[in-house]
Amino acid sequence: MGLLEVLPLGLTVGEAIELEGVRELLLDAGRAGLGREIQHVTVVEVAEDVMWKGKEFLITAFANCREQVDRQLELMESAAHRGCAALAILLHPRGAYMGELPSVLLDRADELALPLFRIPTHVPYIDIIFPIYREIVNRQARELQFALEAHNRMSELVLSGRQLPELVALVASLVGNPVLVLDRWGSPLAGADPARRISPVMFRQRMSRPEAVVVDLGAPSELRRRAAAEVTVETESGSGDTFAKYPIRAGRTRYGDVVVWLREAGLTHLHLMALEQACTVLAFYMEKERVVEEARAHLRRDLLDEIVMGADPAYIEARLGAHGWPPETSGVVMVLKPEGLDGPHGPESGEGMGISDDDYHAIRCLLDGQALPHIVIRRGDSVVALVATRGLPADKAASAGASLARAMVDAFSTRKSRLAVGVGGPFGEVAELRRSYDEAVNALAIGKRVDPLRGVFEIRDLAGYYYLARAADPAGLNDLVMTVLGPLQRYDDRHGTTLVETLRIYFTCDGNVTEAARRLYVHRNTLLRRLQRIREVLGFDPFEGSHRLNFQLAFAAHVLRG
């Protein structure tokens, strides 16, 4: 559709002159303004006494200035400037009234697009005033009745516990076009088409096309207050589909948008009233859903606390089932943390600083988009995901969890923040959940120290670090570091070199000179010279025999020691 047209709320001048009595008036000029809206009828005999309200149908005889064309022009200019709908002048060939309209008045009315009528002498003012006011009141009554019925039908659906798709279907039937409801992140929540031809997926795809025209008209109530008879958005013929978007808002909170695909017809003000009612009811519905989700989020956090504290497995299993976890299902635990958090954070974190609402929503959408059952728990600056692996063997369950984590890291890469994921070992029984969670937390913490550039950290790749940290006391870790790395560290301190870091990266790259040089941002020959200097300082090759294990353990202890 190439034109979005919103028809006027009230009675237009063109419609008024079709009413009985009013049709007796003679239009002499200003035909281009017949689309002006009438909200009042005002009778004025003295030009200086006009109390402008806007959108008046102004009736006068120019009694005190019938021979003063300049004053007549001044009144016409003021009428047009103040939004007057039309000007009707009583003429009479004899007596105290004007006999005819000056040509300069007619020309100026055409320029201003202000309808200018002659009132025949046999037409009393009441025959003009009463039909216009009767039609205005009747229209307002019909509109109010429509708005009340629409509000009652929508409210009844919400209060009776009906779901969002039924409410959206009602809105679509009222506006006669396909409708899609989006959350505040632009994700589709529900859609409906009165003709049953457009699915929500197709709606979102067509709306996302570059050639689509999405018109953000703001709140319908604001649109109706605009002063013109129509609002148009011109687009080139065939350039794309046209969509009208309205915010779902309550106070300062914006919950999302209602989008109408202008496929079958344009929008009238009755449609706008229906959309305004829909936005009000949808805001109530979405606030109710937000409160329910907040309560569920608290319950999920309580569940995680009970898992961490080692609550009875039978009790935990019952709690998991209440959150939709399949019975007797194995799984893995993942801890997901967006990097570079700043600014305001979401209210559901339960802590002063936590993961942002936008990042949490993105993680939820990524998990919801895959087929494995899961429970998502928002905790501080991270998200804990319990992912069911449907009875896979331990090795395949671990691989499935790691694959899902890598897919999420890749999908998250388009955002401003970067995602880091710790993956615990698989659990076959509820009693093993605590262990898998602890492994995921530690895999994330240790992995970010070992190799910060990686996005996914599996406990099976970091088991040595994990169990070394559990087995050794801090003093023992420090002794191990000083014994093995001490000579190189003392050389670095004396000469301002970086032999310890060079050897660590060399071990991380498993002796690959080219890759280690790239990560150190040095030439390959520079790295070879450093490795030779390391051998000279130590008096042996750290990559040979038992030396290799000693240095690997020392670097692990160095990481754990921080």
Q: Coil, strand or helix: which one is 98? A: strand
Nearest CA among 194, 437, 213, 215 for reference residue 310: 437
Q: Which CATH number fits domain 310-465: 3.30.499.10, 3.40.50.150, 3.30.70.270, 3.40.47.10?
A: 3.30.70.270
- Spans of all domains in the chain: 26-122, 146-290, 310-465, 472-561
Q: Element (H or E) spanning 274, and its range?
A: helix 269-308
Amino acid at 196: R
Instruction: Tell me if 257 sits within 8 A of 182, measured CB to CB.
Output: yes
Cα torsion angle, 120, 125, 130, 135, sign: positive
Q: Coil, strand or helix: which one is 136? A: helix
Distance, CA of 28 to CA of 56 (rounded, Å): 18
Q: What is the pLDDT of residue 227?
A: 28
Over 473-486, what HEC string results?
CHHHHHHHHHHHHH
Instruction: Tell me if 16 sits within 8 A of 38, measured CB to CB.
Output: yes
CA atoms within 13 A of residue 396's CA, in its CB half-sphere = 7
Q: What is the pLDDT of residue 490?
A: 86
Distance, CA of 65 to CA of 70 (rounded, Å): 9
Cα torsion angle, 79, 80, 86, 88, sign: positive
Query: How do 232-234 and 3-5 pair as beta strands?
Result: antiparallel
Following DSSP, what letter does each residue of 397-457 receive, concatenated?
A: HHHHHHHHHHHHHHHHTTSSSEEEEEEPPPBSSGGGHHHHHHHHHHHHHHHHHH-TT-SEE
331-339 sheet: strands from edge to edge: 374-379, 382-388, 331-339, 418-423, 456-458
Q: What is the pLDDT of residue 121?
A: 86
213-216 sheet: strands from edge to edge: 188-192, 179-183, 253-261, 242-250, 213-216
Distance, CA of 278 to CA of 212 (rounded, Å): 24
Q: Coil, strand or helix: which one is 550? A: helix
Query: How crowded is residue 115: how many other Cβ atoms within 10 Å of its Cβ?
Result: 27
Cα torsion angle, 61, 63, 68, 70, sign: negative
Q: What is the pLDDT of residue 375?
A: 94
Based on DSSP, count helices (H) and strands (E) in the chain, helices before strands.
Answer: 18, 19
Q: Which residues in the chain land under pLDDT 50?
A: 1-8, 219, 221-238, 341-352
Amino acid at 121: T
Q: What are phi and psi of 211, to 5 degrees?
A: -80, -5
Helix, strand, coil abundance in the chain, percent, nearest 5: 50, 20, 30
In this structure, CATH architecture of domain 26-122: 3-Layer(aba) Sandwich (3.40)
**Vertex 544: Cα angle to 494 and 454 (nearest 5):** 75
Radius of gyration of the chain, Cα coordinates, nearest whole angstrom: 38
Nearest CA among 9, 231, 33 for reference residue 135: 9
Query: How do 40-44 and 56-60 pair as beta strands?
Result: parallel
Cα torsion angle, 207, 210, 212, 216, sign: positive
Q: Which residues of 379-416 are buried (b: 16+ CB within 10 A; e: fewer)?
A: bbbbbbbbbbbeebeeeebbbbbbebbbebbeebeeee
Nearest CA among 175, 174, 204, 208 for reference residue 190: 204
Nearest CA among 263, 90, 258, 61 for reference residue 167: 258
Instruction: Tell me if 356 sits within 8 A of 341, measured CB to CB.
Output: yes
Distance, CA of 334 to CA of 444 (rounded, Å): 9
Angstrom CA distances, 83 to 34, 104, 140, 228, stand at 13, 21, 20, 9
39-75 confidence digits (pLDDT tens) = 889 888 765 666 778 889 999 887 777 778 888 888 8
Nearest CA among 520, 3, 6 for reference residue 213: 3
CATH number, span 146-290: 3.30.450.40
